[in-house]
């Protein structure tokens, strides 16, 4: 995945952030209808299925980054926020709870994006680094091969991080420290198999056009041999139990392997514009 290096960087950078104890604990922040420490199992009804889930520490293999012995298993689910601009939402989960909310642009921004709601401190994508420092005067800066980031410690558990490009915010992440997780367990984020209507991948796009784009982003996020993209073939639409499904036949250009994937398209079927 294209965003994987940044995702891995954030996982480690948050672990290295200052661990001073602050007298005032912060109420779990919420953003875009998602609340940190909320149940990850509730996300599917609101967001549909992600286009990809990255699993840590498994994703570190071959990355050159060494997992620490105390690193807790974590899943990062990637959702599409905008089809007109390459904007994505990444939700992180540990022990069944939401522990990270990240919004990012795949491209540098030249102005504020008002179509995405501001984060809990009032910062929007495309804001200047001065705006971040005004909202978080104690934020500290980190610079590495992936660019500059501003980190703000928000109590003992939570951290806000702002990825910068050209002096403007390209990504915003609100995250909970792994070392402060409460002793609870719940269902982990997972990806349905998509090999039948019963295990169909839930696509909650609002229009037919966006739904087709979402299906393409999903298939591109699951390369057939680790590198090459699946080639889309026939599409069969069916109805069952009040739901509507696309069954798409894909072929791997490098191996000739084929696969049929079922998408639940009830949300946007027949909706144009």
| 22 within a domain of the structure (yes/no) | yes
What is the tens place of the pLDDT at every residue in 172-210? 999 999 889 988 899 999 999 999 999 999 999 999 999
Asked if 164 and 206 sit in the same domain, the reply is no
Count of the separate structural domains present in the chain: 2
Choosing from 152, 180, 208, the residue where a domain stops is 180
| 12 within a domain of the structure (yes/no) | yes
Pairwise CA distance, residues 271 & 63, whole Å:
42
Asked if 78 and 176 sit in the same domain, the reply is yes
Asked if 252 and 173 sit in the same domain, the reply is no
Per-residue confidence (pLDDT) for residue 21, from 0 to 100: 39
Asked if 222 and 168 sit in the same domain, the reply is no
What is the tens place of the pLDDT at every residue in 141-181? 999 877 899 999 999 999 999 999 999 999 999 999 988 99
Please classify residue 85 by burial: count the beta carbons closer than 10 Å to its beta carbon, then call 0-12 exposed, 13-18 middle and 19+ buried: middle
Per-residue confidence (pLDDT) for residue 25, from 0 to 100: 55
| 172 within a domain of the structure (yes/no) | yes
Per-residue confidence (pLDDT) for residue 14, from 0 to 100: 53
Asked if 60 and 120 sit in the same domain, the reply is yes
| 116 within a domain of the structure (yes/no) | yes
Asked if 79 and 46 sit in the same domain, the reply is yes
75's CB contacts (< 8 A; 6+ apart) are 53, 54, 55, 56, 92, 93, 94, 188, 189, 190
Model pTM above 0.95 = no
Asked if 112 and 237 sit in the same domain, the reply is no
Q: How confident is the model at residue 65 (pLDDT cuts 50, 70, 90)?
A: confident
Pairwise CA distance, residues 201 & 224, whole Å:
17
Average pLDDT estimate for 218-239: 95
Tracing tokens 């410690």 back to the chain, one arrives at 153
Q: Locate 33 and state its tokens.
A: 């209808």
| 190 within a domain of the structure (yes/no) | no
Asked if 38 and 170 sit in the same domain, the reply is yes
Asked if 45 and 175 sit in the same domain, the reply is yes
φ, ψ at 131 (rounded to 5°): -65, -40
Asked if 49 and 136 sit in the same domain, the reply is yes
Asked if 171 and 204 sit in the same domain, the reply is no
Q: Locate 43 and state its tokens.
A: 């996300």
| 252 within a domain of the structure (yes/no) | yes
Please classify residue 188 by burial: count the beta carbons closer than 10 Å to its beta carbon, then call 0-12 exposed, 13-18 middle and 19+ buried: middle
Strands of the chain (E only): list them.
Answer: 30-31, 34-35, 52-56, 74-82, 87-94, 97-105, 140-144, 147-154, 158-165, 168-176, 201-202, 231-240, 243-251, 258-264
| 98 within a domain of the structure (yes/no) | yes
φ, ψ at 13 (rounded to 5°): -65, -40
Choosing from 148, 180, 212, the residue where a domain stops is 180
What is the tens place of the pLDDT at every residue in 257-268? 999 999 999 999
Asked if 165 and 57 sit in the same domain, the reply is yes
Domain enclosing residue 235, as ranges: 197-264
| 127 within a domain of the structure (yes/no) | yes
Choosing from 123, 152, 180, the residue where a domain stops is 180
């Amino acid at each position: 995945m294209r965003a994987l290096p940044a995702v891995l960087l954030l996982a480690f950078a948050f672990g290295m952030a200052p661990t001073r104890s602050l007298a005032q604990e912060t109420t779990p922040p919420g953003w875009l209808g998602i609340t940190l420490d909320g149940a990850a199992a509730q996300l599917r009804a609101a967001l549909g299925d992600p286009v990809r889930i990255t699993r840590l520490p498994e994703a570190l293999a071959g990355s050159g980054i060494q997992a620490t012995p105390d690193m807790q298993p974590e899943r990062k689910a990637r959702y599409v926020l905008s089809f007109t601009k390459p904007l994505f939402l990444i939700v992180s989960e540990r022990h069944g709870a939401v522990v990270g909310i990240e919004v990012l642009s795949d491209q540098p921004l030249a102005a504020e994006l008002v179509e995405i709601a501001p984060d809990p401190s009032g910062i929007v994508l495309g804001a200047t680094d001065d705006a971040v420092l005004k909202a978080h005067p104690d934020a500290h800066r980190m610079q590495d091969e992936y660019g500059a980031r501003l980190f703000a410690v928000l109590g003992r558990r939570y951290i806000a991080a702002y990825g910068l490009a050209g002096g403007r915010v390209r990504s915003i992440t609100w995250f909970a420290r792994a070392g402060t997780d409460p002793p609870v367990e719940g269902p982990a984020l997972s990806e349905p198999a998509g090999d039948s209507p019963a295990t169909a991948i839930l696509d909650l796009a609002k229009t037919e056009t966006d739904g087709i784009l979402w299906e393409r982003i999903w298939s591109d996020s699951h390369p057939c041999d680790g590198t090459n993209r699946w080639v889309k073939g026939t599409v069969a639409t069916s109805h069952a139990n009040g739901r509507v499904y696309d069954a798409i036949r894909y072929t791997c250009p490098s191996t000739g392997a084929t696969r049929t994937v079922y998408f639940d398209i009830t949300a946007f079927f027949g909706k144009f514009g």
